């Protein structure tokens, strides 16, 4: 593997109708939204495992016993982990802290970004792992900004509770708040290109347009337009 001392952590919920992608209710039924969510999870795992970059872990909610997660483990040869209790910030902090006890760096991503590529993940891993022949320190963190004001990726060589506590998750100030917290810590960070999430009805329509133009993977052919 190219980055054996790193880990890619994929956060995902079980595809239970009525519990995932609920903001798409105006355009998708609960069953269709759950189907979309499962497709997004598989797309993310396929992207993360397409090249031998580093070990990949699927962090599952509410736990790893759901048959869908077991299928993913077998299909993609990944490790399953349980997300802890708490809000998304608490769960992210716990996962990163646990991983950084045994790994030099970790990248945590969700499954809402259909435009993620293997190159994007490799670029983020590369930012966290400078060439050995240089004396330049790697950044403590890497962020993958989202157009909606959040982030779709956070890479870390170290972790701090302030990065994840008292943040209004799901709002358009998550990224700005996180940047401010990093500055307060005095840590160096870098950012990848900006992405968009598939969360809302307008995102679904955008995905449909881009799929027709061949700009994103056409893995969602069974879903309505």
pLDDT at 117: 96
The string of pLDDT tens digits covering residues 155-197 is 999 999 999 999 999 999 999 999 999 999 999 999 999 999 9
Find out if CATH 3.90.550.10 is the number for domain 6-212. Answer: yes
Compute how many other C-beta atoms are within 10 angstroms of the C-beta atom of residue 127. Answer: 19
Q: If pLDDT is split at 50, 70 and 90, which confidence band does 135 have?
A: low
Name 111's bridge partners. Answer: none
Dump the DSSP string for 76-137.
HT-EEEE--SS-HHHHHHHHHHHHHTT-SEEEEE-S--TT--HHHHHHHHHHHS--TT--PP
Let me know the angle formed at the C-alpha of 88 by 122 and 73, rounded to the nearest 5 degrees.
55
pLDDT at 223: 45
- Asked if 190 and 139 count as a contact pair (C-beta separation under 8 A), the reply is yes
* Entry pTM: 0.93
Q: Using the predicted structure, report yes or no on whether residue 132 has a pLDDT greater than 90.
A: no
pLDDT at 130: 74
pLDDT at 210: 87
């Amino acid at each position: 593997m190219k980055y054996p001392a790193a880990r890619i952590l994929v956060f995902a919920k079980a595809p239970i109708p009525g519990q995932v992608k609920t903001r798409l209710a105006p355009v998708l039924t609960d069953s269709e939204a759950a189907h979309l969510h499962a497709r997004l999870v598989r797309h993310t795992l396929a992207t993360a495992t397409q090249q031998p970059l580093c070990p990949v872990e699927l962090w599952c909610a509410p736990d790893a016993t759901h048959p869908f997660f077991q299928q993913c483990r077998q299909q993609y040869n990944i490790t399953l982990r349980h997300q802890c209790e708490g809000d998304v910030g608490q769960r992210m902090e716990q996962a990163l802290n646990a991983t950084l006890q045994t790994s030099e760096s970790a990248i945590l991503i969700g499954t809402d970004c259909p435009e993620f590529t293997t190159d994007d993940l490799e670029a983020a891993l590369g930012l966290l792992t400078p060439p050995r022949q240089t004396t330049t320190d790697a950044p403590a963190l890497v962020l993958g900004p989202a157009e909606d004001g959040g982030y779709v990726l956070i890479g870390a060589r170290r972790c701090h509770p302030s990065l994840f506590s008292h943040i209004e998750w799901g709002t358009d100030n998550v990224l700005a708040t996180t940047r401010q917290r990093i500055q307060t810590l005095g840590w160096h960070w870098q950012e990848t290109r900006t992405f968009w999430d598939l969360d809302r009805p307008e995102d679904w329509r955008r995905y449909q347009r881009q799929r027709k133009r061949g700009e994103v993977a056409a893995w969602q052919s069974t879903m309505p337009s």
